[in-house]
Structure 1
Amino acid sequence: MNALDWLNGPAFEAFGQRVIWSDMIGNTIGLAALALGWRRSIWTWPAQFLAGVILVGAYASAQLSGGVGKQLLVIGLAVWGWSQWRRGHRDEGGEIAVRFATWRERLTLAAATVAGTLAVGGLFTLVPELSWNPWPDAYIFVGTLAAMVAQARGLVEFWLAWILVDLVGVPLAFSSGLAFSGLVYVVYFGLVLWGLRDWWLRTRPSATALEGALL
């Protein structure tokens, strides 16, 4: 048995569904990547890169070509995000500075997300073998990329984008037979709420001073 066969082999069953190793390992690393993003650690990007590489196998085994394509783009964006954070603005503590997007940035990101979802959803509809559930898959596909772009730019809206992705991602993962992905999305949701609160508070002028006083 080669490594790919092992990764796509069964690990255990959850809720009557088989969980494969690639699904479990990839999403566990993805969960760690989100936690690292919450802590504004640059290691969030290598973790997202590794999770994307492993999840390619998981989505391929589930015959979700759209998911495979998404993970390939996630890999590319992880490299870009790493470069952005390496030369990004820092706060007084030397960590990545975060901020709310301007209205122009919000409108641009929202318009690009809508246009991208329509384009990808249309492609999935025209080529059924790419996805058995075109529009939810396209929504998650583009929403994930939008969230990563916002994260790379240090925007608080990154967390809001993840909330919108989770609302569709949980039921789609379970219905696709990727039970562990569904469970991880539920945990993602909790981390996203905490991350949103943390980044939101750090946009306040007194946040850095308060943090220093507590130390």
Structure 2
Amino acid sequence: MDWTEIAGFITGAACVWLLVRGSIWNFPVGMVNYVLFIILFVNAGLYADAGLQVVYFVLASLGWYWWLKGGKEHEGVEYSDPSPLQFAGCAIAIIVIAASLQWLLHRYTDSTVAGWDALTTAMSLTAQFMLSRKWISNWWLWIAVDLIYIPLYISKGLWLTAFLFLIFLGLSIAGLLEWRKAKREADQRNKAAEVEV
């Protein structure tokens, strides 16, 4: 265990806690976390996970913008879910990204967990994109990813990181419940506003 794993633990937990609460501050805290995990994962030989952190950084930048200025009249995106076509696009993206990454990892790295590394990377990229769009179903994908990551990190001796992802699992469940509640409350406010008009 080194300083990057400890700092990654702290910033990661803070980022997801802010995200569960729907706070825009999850993005800058997350960006610090991604840099720390790039260092950690490269040293552990989890190359796809390291590359994933770079993409997370870019998606966090986009998410920060979308949450602030996206949506109708540039007032920020609202809690929603993808359309069936968008959901199918996400599923296809997972399959294509995972297959491509697995091939690359087998061919060009010494990864001992290429399949799992590729799958979790593909799922995480898609979940991060969904999160950036404020799609509630992103939490279901994070729950599945966390259930895979925990034993993967244990197998690599990253005990603190595995514990962090156990915390993430609990926070992902809380996030799902909290975002569903926030959407119900927003829908009720919108209906009440329509009635008043």
Q: TM-score, normalised by structure 2?
A: 0.88
> Take 2:84 and 2:58, find their aligned partners in 1: how far apart are those partners?
27
1:209 Cα deviation (Å)?
8.5
1:105 matched to which residue of 2?
86
Task: Considering fraction of residues, name the structure with more helix.
Answer: 2
Q: Does 1:176 align with 2:156?
A: yes
> Take 1:81 and 1:119, find their aligned partners in 2: how far apart are those partners?
25
Give yes or no for contact 2:130–2:137 (8 Å, CA) kept in 1.
yes
Aligned length: 188
Change (3 A) 1:207 1:187: farther
1:28 Cα deviation (Å)?
1.9
Q: TM-score, normalised by structure 1?
A: 0.81
Give yes or no for contact 2:77–2:133 (8 Å, CA) kept in 1.
no
Task: Considering fraction of residues, name the structure with more strand.
Answer: 1
1:79 matched to which residue of 2?
61
String of CA shifts for 1:58-82, please: whole Å, max 9, x gaps: 1122132222211121122211211
Structure 1's unaligned 5+ residue stretches are 1-18, 211-215
Change (3 A) 1:208 1:26: farther
2:169 to 176, 183, 189: 189
Give yes or no for contact 2:41–2:49 (8 Å, CA) kept in 1.
yes
1:159 Cα deviation (Å)?
0.4
Aligned-residue RMSD, C-alpha: 2.0
Consecutive aligned runs of 4 or more in structure 1 exceeding 3 Å deviation: 207-210
Q: Percent identity?
A: 25
String of CA shifts for 1:85-133, please: whole Å, max 9, x gaps: 121348xxx885201221111111111111111111111122232x220
